[in-house]
Structures are given as structure tokens and as C-alpha cells.
Chains A and B, each alone.
Chain A
């Protein structure tokens, strides 16, 4: 059962355009929603994250929009640049049963290509 569904699988955007990646989740126990950026041959890098009590969070050109009732959240990249070309993963985090720390459940990823 895939708990976090991500779309689209791939996305091509022109330089200066807006990139939008969407995710949906099923588990209402999730209470933390990060986005990661991964370049080829590298580990995922934490980009931006949001908690369910906030509807929007913006950091520079990156914005997360969160819709708790719809169990959906999205990443918007404004003024997309060729250097943003990478794979983006949404994730959701919930406290493991019986534990005191969190684990991440990832979407399958979106390969973003920004053309110059």
C-alpha cells in the first residue's frame, strides 16, 4: 500500500516558469511533511517542510501548500532555473508505534527538468 502518492512522475519547465509537484497521503497520523531534492549520485537534501497546522510555507523560491481536509500538499518552485533540475521527493513523517522518533515515508519522486 503506497501511503504517499506523488505526481507527476516527470516534469519539464522552461526557465523562469513555475514548477508544481503534488502529493497525497492516506495516513492521518502523519504530522510532518518535508520535501527533498536529490541530484544524481547524491543523497536527498532537505529542501523545505511543513506541519499540518499551517496552510502554506515559503522559503525563497520554494513554497509548500498544504490542504489538510483533502490530505494533499504540493511544492511550487517559482522562477525555475536549470540548476533546479533534479528529482524531488515528497515525504510524510509519523511517530513509529512504541518509539520516540520518526520515520519518513517517501513518494516515488518527480524528475524535474528546467530548460534554459
Chain B
């Protein structure tokens, strides 16, 4: 069974640029959630995708957007990057049986300069 994978591992962008992060869910999992983890903090929920639609959103502005594909993989897009967007972005997948247990990938470390 393959776990959650994310790419790239690290990324450096300049303020104002756009970025796309990718996530492949664990085998058999159809729900993907994205979290932002600032240094020294707990992860914060960005949004969740289920059946290729956004299914719940945290307190993040619209410049954070996402997609889910038919194979359940997902993308997180961030436009107009700000310095405060520097963080570890985590993807978590959960199973069709209710989604309570979420399994995280290793994350993408985004640095905005």
C-alpha cells in the first residue's frame, strides 16, 4: 500500500509569484485535505476535496485554490504569494468510510522571498 506522496519537497518563490503543489493520496482514499504549518505551529486546515469538489474551507483567502482529479490526486495553488505564505504545506488523505482518520504526506516546504 502506497502512502501519501507530495511534490516538490522544497520550493523557493518570490513574492507575487504563483505556485502549484501536488499530492497523491494513499491507495483507496478519495478525500484529500490540505494544511498549512507555519514554523513552530500546528497545521491549519486550508480546504478539503472530495469527489473532485471543494468540501469545506478554513480561514484562508481565495488566492488559495485547489483541484482534485479523477484518480483522487490533488493540487494546491497559491496566487500572489506573500512572505507569510512561507510554511510547510501538508496534504492528508482519508478513506471513503467517513474520513476521520487522516494520513499525512511529508509536506512541501515553501519559502517566499
Contact = CB atoms under 8 A, between A and B. Distances in A.
Interface residues of B, number: 29
A100 B45 contact: no
B43 A101 contact: no
Contact of A43 (B40, B94, B99, B105): B105
Contacts of A44: 43, 90, 104
A93 B43 contact: no
Contact of B100 (A6, A93, A96, A99): A93
Interface stretch (B50-58, B64-72, B74-82): B50-58
A100 B54 CA distance: 11
11 contacts: A34-B102, A43-B90, A43-B106, A46-B103, A93-B100, A96-B48, A102-B98, A102-B99, A104-B45, A105-B45, A106-B43
Given A34-B101, A44-B43, A104-B43, 12 more contacts: A6-B42, A42-B106, A46-B102, A91-B42, A93-B100, A97-B56, A98-B56, A99-B55, A100-B99, A101-B31, A102-B94, A105-B45
Interface of B: 4, 6, 31, 33, 35, 40-45, 48, 50, 55-56, 58, 90, 92, 94, 98-107
